[in-house]
Amino acid sequence: MAAAVVTRGQVSGLENKEFEKLAVPLLDGLYNFACWLSGNPDEARDLVQETFLKSLRGFGSFREGTNFRAWMYRILRNTFLTSRTGLERRNTQQEDEEGFAELVVSQETPELSLIRRADTELVQAAIAQLTPIFQEVILLADLEEMRYQEIAETLDIPIGTVMSRLARARKQVRTYIVAALGQKKVVGIK
Amino acid sequence: MMICEWREKTGLYVDGELEPAAQQSFTAHLESCAGCAAAVLEQQELKKAVRIAGKRFSAPPELYAQVRRQLTPEEKPGKRFFWQWAMTTALLVVMAALAGAWFTRSHNDNATVAGLMGHHVEMLANPARPLDVISTDMHTVKPWYQGKLPFTFNPVKPAQESPFTLVGGNLVYAGQAPGAELVYQVRQHKISVFIFSAKDVHGEPGAGPQPFTVSGWQQNGLQYYIVTDAAKEDAQQLKGLLEEANQ
């Protein structure tokens, strides 16, 4: 994808500076998120560039008081979803909206020591095996430390769906880690 | 088996999404419910593990350059030529300065040290933010780094007469290089000991005045930095103990 330049006619210099101040600090997080979504560094790079381009073009109409970070992540995600990889992955997504109370654990958790023993590579594998709708929600919540409201804005879904997806995503990560470390039965997860 | 009614709110509690009053009630409840306490701890550990593992990819410098180019309005050709000339000249000057610094073997990596100081300040400013591993036991803290770092090290052995108490540790990055931050307490002061592979991170702290006590040295292929608001003597003493533990 060729690097496109937004000309003066589209965004004023002042807006440009303001945009740069707000957006560039998000670049690393956006790239990391794009890599997880697309599974391809080259595609992630293109996604980030396109995200910056689109958001810069739309910055003139960006309303003050709106969450800028959620706005940028939403543009990135929408750009991904309309890409070829995104369309392919969207077709394989499984909506799984079980209740939020799903992640109930029993009081004795030998799994705690297993989770503590899990190395970074194993946790990355656990995140990688999640379907996109679970992967994005757990990354936004636990890595980007977004509030539920912010995640709901980014993904354009209700807060209740954020909660249920997050609970399901965590359950799957936990189950994967415990299974990988040799535990046959996950106590307390129904 | 009856499951406590609070249990399904564990995720909300760990994410800080309960109403303030409910958050307080849950905290009070944890003192009397071992099941919920264990569930909260497990969720916190899981969240922490995802936070660390989720930061898997770093944007390459050329992407920053490409994006900045995107953000730069087009210049007139003449003006662009001037800037190209100016940039080339500036680049040559910087390269000459860097070469001079290299040849005189002055490896002051102030940017790294400044970053580590920033990390230490952030930790002091956010005492409520938990460390990645919280334990005074070196046999808990050291194994926690296994699989997360491409090297190993020994924390200071606990001794009765030692004024230093191990508090825990964090996984930190200098650029893309992972490292350990061991946190010690001495009296009312916190001391951060940063440890990296010397292949990735190296350089002495600058000789000029620093807002904190900073010390750096290499031992067995590892680069150590101490950053603290405690006295220089404390840093020196801890450095000696670390050197002894890693002989």
pLDDT in tens, B177-234: 888 999 998 887 889 999 999 888 887 776 656 667 888 899 989 999 998 888 888 8
8 A C-beta contact, residue B115 and residue B216:
no
The Cα–Cα gap between B144 and A118 comes to 9
Confidence band, pLDDT 50/70/90 cuts, at residue A98: very low
Residues 6+ positions from B153 with CB-CB distance below 8 Å = B142, B180, B195, B222, B246
Q: What is the pLDDT of residue B129?
A: 67
Distance in angstroms (rounded) separating the CA atoms of residues B22 and A83: 43
Look at A104 and B148 and tell me if their CB atoms are within 8 Å: no
Q: Retrieve residue A104's tokens.
A: 């109930």
Say whether pLDDT at A11 is over 80. Answer: no
Minimum CA–CA partner of A149 in chain B? B17
CA of A56 vs chain B CAs: smallest distance (Å): 8
pLDDT at A94 over 70: no
Residue B194 has phi, psi (to 5 degrees) of -100, 135
What are the CA-CA distances from residue A164 to residues A97, A141, A150, B37, B76 (Å)?
Answer: 6, 13, 15, 22, 54
Q: What are phi and psi of B105, to 5 degrees?
A: 55, 35
Cα B68 from Cα B59, distance rounded (Å):
13
Render the burial of B12-42: b for 16+ CB within 10 Å, e for the rest: bbbbebbeeeeeeebeebbeebebbebbbbb
With CA atoms as reference, the chain A residue closest to B67 would be A49
CB contact under 8 A, B70 and A3: yes
Beta bridge partners of B169: B133, B182
Is residue B27 classed as helix, strand or coil in its secondary structure?
helix
Report the alpha-carbon distance of residue B12 to residue B1 in Å, rounded. Answer: 23
B214 pairs with which residues across the strands? B227
Tell me the chain B residues in contact with residue A142 when contact means C-beta distances shorter than 8 Å.
47, 50-51, 54
Q: Which of B55, B71, B74 sits opposite A56 (nearest CB)?
A: B71
- Pick from B39, B54, B60: which is nearest to A109 by CB? B39
* CB < 8 Å from A in window 10-69 of B: 10-12, 15, 17, 34-36, 38-39, 41-43, 45-47, 49-60, 63-64, 66-69
- Check: CB of residue B49 under 8 Å from CB of residue B132: no
Answer yes or no: are the C-beta atoms of A8 and A54 closer than 8 Å.
no
Query: In the prediction, which pLDDT does A162 show?
Result: 96
Torsion angle of the four alpha carbons A58, A63, A67, A68, in this order, in degrees rounded to the nearest 10: 30
β-bridge mates for residue B181, sequence order? B170, B194
**B2 Cβ under 8 Å from any chain A Cβ:** no
Span A2-29, average pLDDT: 66
Is residue B181 within a helix (H) or strand (E), and if so which, with residue range?
strand B177-186
- What pLDDT does B188 receive? 76
Spell out the residues 6+ positions from residue A19 whose beta carbon is closer than 8 angstroms to its own: A11, A55, A56, A59, B71
Q: A150-187: per-residue pLDDT in tens?
A: 999 999 999 999 999 999 999 999 999 988 886 544 44
| Residue with the two structure tokens 């930095």 | B225
What was the pLDDT predicted at A163? 95
**In this model, does residue B235 exceed pLDDT 70?**
yes
Q: Which helix (H) or strand (E) holds A173?
A: helix A159-180
Residue A8 has pLDDT above 50, yes or no: no
CB contact under 8 A, B148 and A120: yes
Pairing verdict, β B213-219 and B164-174: unpaired
Residues B81-97: what's their mean pLDDT?
A: 65
Could you tell me the strand order of the sheet in which B222-228 lies?
Answer: B133-134, B164-174, B177-186, B189-197, B222-228, B213-219
Q: What does the pLDDT read at residue B127? A: 66
Q: Tokens representing A138?
A: 């757990």
Cβ-Cβ contacts under 8 Å, B1 against chain A: 106
pTM score of the predicted model = 0.55
